[in-house]
């Protein structure tokens, strides 16, 4: 996948993306190899990323569930960074985690 940063196109391996963080009309994409800032809105990136690996958990964050290391009711951890799960995103995050086999539904 390619993203524009300034005048350059940067290639990303999807498996290397840890998470994306919104900063207004910019996004910081954090990968295993570092961070790059791209001129794009988070919603646009969300639509481009495969929805079987990436989930929006907050108005400012999209995570790659392949790098999920810890999950709690109101927060989760990717690599060593903890993220809040936004209240409006919580139901869809939990549903995503169940469908992905990360979370087992309780009766």
Q: Does residue 95 fall inside a structural domain?
A: yes
Q: Does residue 105 fall inside a structural domain?
A: no
Residue 38's domain spans which residues?
Answer: 2-99
Q: What's the pLDDT score for residue 77?
A: 92
Q: What's the pLDDT score for residue 63?
A: 97
Q: What's the pLDDT score for residue 107?
A: 43
Q: How many domains does the chain have?
A: 1
- Say how far apart CA 35 and CA 18 lie, in whole Å: 10
Q: Does residue 107 fall inside a structural domain?
A: no
Please say whether the beta carbons of 27 and 44 come within 8 A: no
Q: What's the pLDDT score for residue 6?
A: 67
Q: What's the pLDDT score for residue 103?
A: 63
pTM: 0.87
Q: What's the pLDDT score for residue 71?
A: 87
Q: Does residue 76 fall inside a structural domain?
A: yes
Q: Report the CATH number at residue 21.
A: 2.40.50.1020
> What DSSP line would sit under the chain, residue for residue?
-EEEETTEEEE--GGGEEEEEEETTEEEEEETTEEEEESS-HHHHHHHS-TTTEEEEETTEEEEGGGEEEE-SSEEEETTEEEEPPTTTHHHHHHHHHHTTSS----
Q: Does residue 104 fall inside a structural domain?
A: no
Identify the segments of the chain with pLDDT beneath 50: 107
């Amino acid at each position: 996948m390619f993203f524009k940063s300034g005048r350059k196109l940067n290639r990303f391996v999807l498996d290397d993306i840890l998470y994306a963080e919104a900063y207004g009309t910019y996004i910081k994409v954090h990968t295993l190899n570092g961070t790059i800032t791209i001129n794009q809105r988070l919603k646009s990136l969300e639509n481009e990323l495969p929805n079987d690996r990436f989930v929006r958990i907050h108005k400012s964050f999209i995570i790659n569930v392949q790098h999920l290391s810890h999950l709690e009711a109101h927060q989760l951890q990717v690599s060593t960074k903890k993220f809040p799960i936004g209240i409006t995103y919580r139901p869809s995050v939990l549903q995503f985690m169940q469908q992905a086999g990360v979370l087992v539904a309780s009766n």
